[in-house]
Structure 1
Amino acid sequence: MRGFLASSIGVTCAAALALPLTLPSSGARAATPAAESPAGPSAESVPGSTQSLPLTPLGSDRSTGGGASAEQGLLQREVRPFSLVGVVWDDPDDELHGSVQVRTRANGISTWSGWQPVETHNHEHAADPNDPERASGRVRGSTAPLWVGDSDGVEIRVRGEAAQHRGGAHPSGGQALPTGLRLELVDPGAEPPPQGPAPKGTASTVLTAETAASSAVNADLAPLGADVIPALGKKETESDLIAARGGPEEAAGQARPYVGPRPRITTRKGWGANERLREKNFAYTKTVKAAFVHHSASGNNYRCSQAGSVLRSIYRYHVKSSGWRDIGYNFAVDKCGNIYEGRAGGVAKPVLGAHTLGFNSNSMGIAVIGSFGSTRPPAASVKAIARLTAWKLGLYGANPRGKTYLRSGGGNLYKKGRNVRLHVISGHRDGFATECPGSRLYQKLGKARSTSARYQGR
């Protein structure tokens, strides 16, 4: 991990100069030029797709033409295959005060699911108000995404609350809904090629410029184009950190730092991220003083073998539907305790995320895939939070049991510019008035803090 804080510009430029890149597997024959034979498998062979359908007035609101209707939706219809749903609207500063319910029909059957709720308050997962990402002009308001599995039929209804908001209640008794409501149906695309070296004699993996750049920022931790950053023992992790701080000639005389062993992390290439979706450049903050724990609110109805598909769907929803520059979270954790690289820029670097409105600077966001308002999070997921934070916070000298100060960028709990004292491992609700990460997961953060500190040797 030597040089983990090296300039990302230099790494990315070096990767670009080396392209096109072909990485033959151990024992494989050298790749022939693309003009002579088809290229090998690429990370961009899993593009996915998004269907965006405008909602229309329902019931007594049909005559309004959809301008300020308090109930909108779509009746049952057959659509192209999808696996994740969400609702977006025009103004990211507008809030959807009401309920969203959806039901779907799984591929190949004629029966429909029951109505499922979609979490409406998603605006708190976003870039800070003055961040260029927020001011891009592409950002839209959005609900949380909901994973429904392979489906080809959908029905949705959105109902406004009977409450005052931006000019008053709707004449029908319900609150006017945001303008430009659209249903987003996301297909994550096919699974990427199996991890590990290609069989002897097969074509090697060809990296595009975007995939090479995303991988190059992790080059100190794993080979270029790797699907996984391997775990590292505590002693090796400590030695690498000491060397990175002071150079090999000074490493022997330094005290051992408080840092946990590096956990195994599935890279963006490993879960099949289409690097052409995101913005080309990376964005960084100064350091990592705290970790905010989230739940994705996308439901618990997935298998761990499907986690890559869920992440590809959330990634596409964040970028194509919500207008963000990349997936919002820095890391994700599934119900089996597997850890995944989130926003591109390097897992050991202080990558600026869009996860906790007002507190994205000098922090990182970890999303546990699932919904944990009433469901207890798996012990494996809580342990993975502890392992990840012990390592990443340790790189920056942070004590998982401690507290720190972060300056608010503006939100509904703390005004812009206020210095706020927070747990080094906080829940999303500590920085913003929200239910995230769900009450059952929030209750486990004390356990995560103590376990993380123990991994660091404190």
Structure 2
Amino acid sequence: MRISLLAALGATAAALLAPPAAAVPVAANPVPGSITTLPLVPSRPGAQARPATPAGPRSADPSGAGETREIQAHGTGSFALVGVSWDDPQVTLAGSVEVRTRSAATGAWSDWYRLAADSEDGPDPAEHPSRGATAPFWVGPSDGIAVRVAAADGPLPAGLRAELVDPGTDPGSAATPQSGAPAGRAAHGAPRPGIVTRSGWGADESLRQAGFVYTGNARTVFVHHTDTANGYTCADSPKLIRAMYQYHVKTNGWRDIGYNFLVDKCGTVYEGRAGGVDQPVLGAHTLGFNANSSGVAAIGTYTDASVPQDQLDGIAKIAAWKLGLTDVDAKGTTNLVSASDGSRYPKGQSVGFNTISGHRDAFVTDCPGNELYTRLPGIRSTAARLQGR
């Protein structure tokens, strides 16, 4: 059911549209990228399924006599991130989605990887996603694709297509974190960490919707993982974020990238959704609880893999600073009101959260992965120390 923007934000949230002039710095020469879409076709008779290498720790999808569709292995133009989408964002794909890609550097084909059949991050209903889609998966520079999708039972969603994202080339200058004013303006304000701005990672500002939507002050930071491969280099982080930005906007139909901030495995903090890093920008990261919160995503998958200490420190720094802007205790608790029955809690229910929480605390998901989730107490302690508590 579609609801108004004000209803989605809840009675305590203020939604404001700011003119583009209020944006954070825009790149003088936006970095171009592109998405190539390829339709899936009915599978060949007798095609045999083979086990996939999971992109993350997901239980095996049940086998059944459901519809199957595919893209047979063939060469393509350049891309580095892949996903699968379908026409109706209200429809869930119950089944398996698997891809394999050809390395542009070596010509070798990868193993099969299983994609999350439903993107677990998302906006509240007022943002009107235009397509259903899997979570995107970073594969690095590639020039070949194969896809297979199998329903657990019955038909697959209509309009299935592969989304091949080319992140474009890097900006002329390196992505350098920009420092800000020391300490917050509240009694327990933490030092602002260096943040790579959108212009620093090469955001094409013409892609997103004009203007910005603001909510009430962030009372909770929801920690996520992007559920993408961990083998990226930190030099690739701007490319990965540009590709994710394109996927969220062009494929999902969101107004901008979903996360408010992203942190790579080297601990570098990146600005996410536009509107000002020190402003309460409404994100699209935790369905039902995007209002009065900020979404921080660790780039990678942390279900079984250990989280680098630099990344943990980066998450703690940005959480401490963001919460400290309005004197929110990083080791405290707060209440938020659910804006969607699609969350873990019915719409309208007031829910208590730690001020630094995991995505799974608000939504039925494994995110941010067991390894990262178990490190949240340490992140809270570090953030509180940074706030001088």
Specify the alignment match of 1:456 in structure 2.
Answer: 387
Residue identity in the other structure for 2:140: G
1:414 aligns with 2:345: yes
1:180 aligns with 2:159: yes
Specify the alignment match of 2:140 in structure 1.
Answer: 149
1:237 aligns with 2:183: yes
Distance in 2 (alpha carbons) for counterparts of 1:329 and 1:455 = 23
Contact 2:23 2:275 in 1 (8 A): no
Contact 1:337 1:380 in 2 (8 A): yes
Specify the alignment match of 1:253 in structure 2.
Answer: none
CA 1:378 to 1:231, structure 2 compared with 1: closer, same or farther past 3 Å? farther
Contact 1:8 1:345 in 2 (8 A): no
After TM superposition, what 4+ stretches of structure 1 lie above 2 angstroms from structure 2? 7-16, 59-62, 108-111
Q: Deviations over 1:377-417 (max 9, x none)?
A: 11111111111111110002211111110000112411111
Contact 2:256 2:273 in 1 (8 A): yes
1:351 aligns with 2:330: no
Specify the alignment match of 1:36 in structure 2.
Answer: none
Distance in 2 (alpha carbons) for counterparts of 1:345 and 1:430 = 26
1:71 aligns with 2:61: no
Contact 2:23 2:274 in 1 (8 A): no
Residue identity in the other structure for 1:155: A
Residue identity in the other structure for 1:156: V
Question: More displaced, 79-88 or 50-59?
Answer: 50-59
CA 1:70 to 1:328, structure 2 compared with 1: closer, same or farther past 3 Å? same
User: % of aligned pairs identical?
Assistant: 47
Specify the alignment match of 1:160 in structure 2.
Answer: 151
Equivalent positions of 1:125-144 (< 5 A) are: 125-129=121-125, 131=126, 133-134=127-128, 139-144=130-135
1:375 aligns with 2:305: yes
Contact 1:61 1:71 in 2 (8 A): no
1:397 aligns with 2:324: no
1:376 Cα deviation from its structure 2 partner: 1.3
SS at match of 2:158: coil
1:85 Cα deviation from its structure 2 partner: 0.2
Question: Unpaired runs of 5+ in structure 1?
Answer: 1-6, 24-40, 63-67, 162-168, 171-175, 197-226, 243-256
Equivalent positions of 1:47-446 (< 5 A) are: 47-60=32-45, 70-122=67-119, 124-129=120-125, 131=126, 133-134=127-128, 139-161=130-152, 169-170=153-154, 176-195=155-174, 228-230=177-179, 236-238=182-184, 241=185, 257-410=187-340, 411-446=342-377
RMSD over aligned Cα atoms:
2.3
Q: Deviations over 1:161-198 (max 9, x none)?
A: 2xxxxxxx32xxxxx322111100000000111149xx
Distance in 2 (alpha carbons) for counterparts of 1:340 and 1:285 = 21
SS at match of 1:194: coil
Q: Which has the higher helix share?
A: 1
Contact 2:356 2:380 in 1 (8 A): yes
Residue identity in the other structure for 2:356: I
CA 1:323 to 1:9, structure 2 compared with 1: closer, same or farther past 3 Å? closer
Residue identity in the other structure for 1:114: D
SS at match of 2:114: strand
CA 1:432 to 1:10, structure 2 compared with 1: closer, same or farther past 3 Å? closer
Distance in 2 (alpha carbons) for counterparts of 1:8 and 1:267 = 22
Q: Deviations over 1:414-434 (max 9, x none)?
A: 111110111111100000001
Contact 1:43 1:273 in 2 (8 A): no
Distance in 1 (alpha carbons) for counterparts of 2:352 and 2:44 = 49
Specify the alignment match of 2:5 in structure 1.
Answer: none
Distance in 2 (alpha carbons) for counterparts of 1:12 and 1:110 = 44
1:43 Cα deviation from its structure 2 partner: 3.0
CA 1:403 to 1:193, structure 2 compared with 1: closer, same or farther past 3 Å? same
Instruction: Return the TM-score normalized by structure 2.
Output: 0.87
Contact 1:333 1:340 in 2 (8 A): yes
SS at match of 1:229: coil
Specify the alignment match of 1:216 in structure 2.
Answer: none
CA 1:230 to 1:386, structure 2 compared with 1: closer, same or farther past 3 Å? same
Distance in 2 (alpha carbons) for counterparts of 1:13 and 1:112 = 46
Contact 2:226 2:297 in 1 (8 A): yes
Contact 2:16 2:215 in 1 (8 A): no
Distance in 2 (alpha carbons) for counterparts of 1:140 and 1:81 = 23
1:444 Cα deviation from its structure 2 partner: 0.7
Residue identity in the other structure for 1:142: A
Instruction: Return the TM-score normalized by structure 1.
Output: 0.74
CA 1:60 to 1:396, structure 2 compared with 1: closer, same or farther past 3 Å? farther
Distance in 2 (alpha carbons) for counterparts of 1:15 and 1:403 = 31
1:318 Cα deviation from its structure 2 partner: 0.4
1:10 Cα deviation from its structure 2 partner: 7.4
Larger radius of gyration: 1
Distance in 1 (alpha carbons) for counterparts of 2:19 and 2:124 = 27
Distance in 1 (alpha carbons) for counterparts of 2:23 and 2:370 = 43
1:231 Cα deviation from its structure 2 partner: 5.3
CA 1:356 to 1:109, structure 2 compared with 1: closer, same or farther past 3 Å? same
Distance in 2 (alpha carbons) for counterparts of 1:8 and 1:43 = 28
